[in-house]
């Protein structure tokens, strides 16, 4: 039996029994419930790096929404102007791909060049 299953079994027994050690059982249940809530909260909070990536991409999307053709080089320059130090072409391509996959950007492929623009209502993701 897994530890989590065993813990749940013990909790269920205590809840059903309402035994002679009612105060101890209540204390155990309160501690157990607090532990379970803390685990659930820890799982729902994104890691700091992911939160930073999401914030950066939202900021980038706002800039792209102003219009124009955005290529990875333009995104790298945008990173530099907006104090996102240490990010290069690889991060730019990744951010553009994620925003495109989410439907926020449209990818345009022309002979020898790929660029992105903000998606408009009713528009597709690939142009």
Q: Is 88 exposed, middle or buried (0-12, 13-18, 19+ CB in 10 A)?
A: exposed
User: What is the pLDDT confidence band of residue 122, given thresholds at 50, 70 and 90?
Assistant: very low
Question: How much of the chain, in percent, has pLDDT values that exceed 90?
Answer: 46
Q: Which domains does the chain have, with CATH numbers?
A: 3-44 (no CATH), 48-118 (1.10.10)
User: What is the pLDDT confidence band of residue 47, given thresholds at 50, 70 and 90?
Assistant: low
CA distances to 4, 17, 45, 80, 97 from 73, in Å: 49, 67, 32, 11, 14
Summarize the confidence of residues 48-75 as an average pLDDT: 88
Predicted confidence at residue 42, as pLDDT, reads: 67
Predicted confidence at residue 52, as pLDDT, reads: 77
Q: Is the pLDDT of residue 45 over 70?
A: no
Q: Is the pLDDT of residue 89 over 80?
A: yes
Q: Taking Cα atoms as reference points, which of 124, 122, 83 lies closest to residue 101? A: 124
123 versus 79: the higher-pLDDT residue is 79
């Amino acid at each position: 039996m897994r530890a989590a299953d065993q813990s749940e079994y013990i909790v269920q027994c205590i809840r059903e029994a309402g035994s002679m050690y009612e105060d101890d059982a209540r204390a155990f249940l309160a501690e157990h419930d607090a532990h379970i809530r803390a685990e659930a909260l820890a799982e729902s909070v994104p890691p700091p790096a992911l939160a930073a990536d999401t914030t950066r991409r939202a900021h980038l999307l706002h800039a792209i929404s102003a219009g124009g053709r955005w290529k990875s080089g333009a995104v790298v320059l945008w990173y530099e102007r907006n104090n996102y130090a240490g990010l290069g072409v690889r991060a730019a391509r990744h951010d553009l791909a994620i925003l495109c996959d989410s439907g926020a950007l449209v990818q345009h492929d022309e002979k020898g060049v790929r660029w992105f623009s903000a998606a408009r209502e009713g528009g597709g993701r690939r142009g």
